[in-house]
Amino acid sequence: MLRIGKLTDYATVVLASLAEEPARHRAAAELADRTRLSHPTVSKVLKGLQRAGLVVSSRGAHGGYGLARPPEQITAAQILDVFEGPIAITECSGAGSQCGIERQCRVGGAWQRVNAAIRRALEDVTLRQLAGLDSGALRIADLASEIRVHGI
């Protein structure tokens, strides 16, 4: 499935909601309402995003969360990193892995390049685009969603 956890999915939705008015801070409860997710879940997601530096928080009464950067400076890769950890398609391909059969399989090197390719693809996608605020680019995409991998 190349599946991504639900938390990451929720994170995207929450971030997209924040991106609608990047300057404004919103309480977790309000975001839960807007996204139709439960409050505890949204809260958990926001905690993670805050620790990762994608959102900033203010505590106390009238506190809330806001984007740490403009939506166009937040990438899909950064969002994935929060709840999925460093992108590593196999154990071998992660940093500091201890694959007992590494010498036999030799596969590691190529997977790492696949990894890098995927990561670059994700780094090219911004929150602004994920949130659908970049309709121009989306229309272009319909014409030519093109990807090229050289020399993997």
List interacting residues with DNA (CB under 7 A).
1, 3, 5-7, 10, 27-29, 38, 40-41, 43-44, 46-47, 50-51, 57-65, 83
Binding test (CB under 8 A) with a copy of itself, winner from 7, 12, 55, 63: 12
Bridge partner residues of 75 (DSSP): 126
Q: Closest Cα partner for 49 from 16, 11, 76? A: 11
- Least gap, CB of 29 to DNA (angstroms): 6
Nearest-Å Rg of the Cα atoms of the chain is 18
CA distances from 12 to 23, 59, 76, 103 (A): 18, 22, 8, 39
Q: Which two tokens stand for residue 133?
A: 């605020």
CB-nearer residue toward a copy of itself: 44 or 81:
81
Q: Which SS3 state, helix, strand or coil, does residue 86 take?
A: coil
Residues that bind a copy of itself (CB under 8 A): 1-4, 6, 8-9, 12-13, 16, 34-37, 76, 80, 84-92, 100-101, 104-107, 109-111, 113-114, 116-118, 120-122, 124-125, 129-132, 137-138, 140-141, 143-152
